[in-house]
Structures are given as C-alpha cells and as structure tokens.
Amino acid sequence: SSPAAKAVVDELLRVIKELDATKLRVPAIKSIGSLARSFSAKQSRVIGPLVARLGNTDQDVAMEAAIALKNFVSTGNYLCSEHSKSIIEFEGVPLLMKLLNSGDKKTHPHVLALICYLAQHDSNSNVLIKAGALTALQTIDPKVNIEYTELETLVPRTISKLQPYLTVEQQQTESSTGIIQFITEQSKAVVDTIGGAIPPLKTTRIQLFLKAKCMELALMSVYYLKKRLVIEEPAQKLR
C-alpha cells in the first residue's frame, strides 16, 4: 500500500500489458503471482492484465498467467472468492477453454487447476458449465491427474460440485426447447387457420381474429409453462 510498492506493481503491470517480450513478461507475471495474497479485492486492475495474457500467442506467457491467477483463487488466498469473480468478469473462462482446446499441453494442468478453483464458488458454476468446463474435466487424460498430484483430488471434487448444476441446466434447456416447440406448432396452426379464413374476412375482422388468436396462443403458452414447472420443481427439490 506504500507509494514505493504501488510504483513497483504499476511498473510490473506496464510490462505485462505493453511489452511484447517473453523474457520480460514472464518474470513480471511471476512477480505479480507471488504477491497474490497482498492484493485486496478492490485491486481488480491486477487481474485484468493477467487474464488478457491467457490469450497470448506465446504459450510460456499464457501458462505463467494461468499459474499466477491460480495463486489468486486457490483456497490459500482468503480473498479467493472475490478474485474469482474478477476473473469471470474479465471473460477469463473462454480464454481458459481455448487454451485447453488448442494450447500447448504443458499449460493444461495449470489451466485445469485454475478452472477447479474457480468452480469452488457456486456463483461461477453456470458460467463454467456453459463454457464446457465440466466436459473438459470429465475427459482428462488419467495420466495428467497422476502426474500432477494437485489435480488428483481437485478434479473429482470439482466434477461432483458441478454435476448438480449441469442437471438443472439440462432441465432448463429441455423446458425451453419444449416451450419453443409448442409455440412454434401453435403458431403454424394459427397461420394455417388464418390462411383458410382470410378470403371471406374484411380488414377489421381479420385484425380482431388475429388478436384473439394471439391471446389464445399466449394463454396456452403460459399454461404449458406452469404445467412444466409444477412437474419439475418438486423433482428438483427431491434432489
């Protein structure tokens, strides 16, 4: 918090953000990572540049960024929850998934560990699931877990933590799909009915007819949605 310390941090961040030189960036990232426990939750300005470097084309830089961010969100950091929210807000999850899908394999263990630590906070679960993190964890090469003892317990625990959210997510998707399908079918019926009725109808009568049919469709859709919720909510509570 002293002016001298702030000046050092500012210079490190400048190197991370502006200098396109691996030999300088990597040590700067490592330095910020080693100071992870020193930053308050309000100092999200430190998180942003590290998250951005996850997308760096130089895999050494990307890997060091993942390692540094892991220090911010590991359970040993008492502000891990606040820092994890900052990583999510800076769109870190898509970059992590990209690293898993196309990055150097040596970065994967660090990325997986970072994902696991992010998943320990319930507010991040849906974001991770939508990005495909659960699938990534479930399809890890077993050798990775053996070689990196940190992942040996982290991965199974994270999978168990995310799976209940996936179930809810799937049910919501199924419900939405069912409702959309229902509305689509009813809309087609309305169009077919209108198509057969238009010739004998005058303009005013057509407008009234359309209004009545739209109201009917809306009421039927609400009824359908309520019916699904009555069935699904007790089932979710039982789990």
Comparing 141 with 209, the larger pLDDT belongs to: 141
**Cβ atoms of residues 75 and 86 within 8 Å:** no
Query: pTM (2 decimals)?
Result: 0.69
Whether the per-residue pLDDT at 28 is higher than 50: the answer is yes
pLDDT, position 222: 56
Each residue's pLDDT tens digit, 210-239: 666 666 666 665 555 555 444 444 444 444
The percent of residues above 90 in pLDDT, for the chain, comes to 49
Task: Give the mean pLDDT of the chain.
Answer: 80
46 has pLDDT over 50: yes
CA geometry: angle at 213 spanning 207 and 219, to 5°?
135
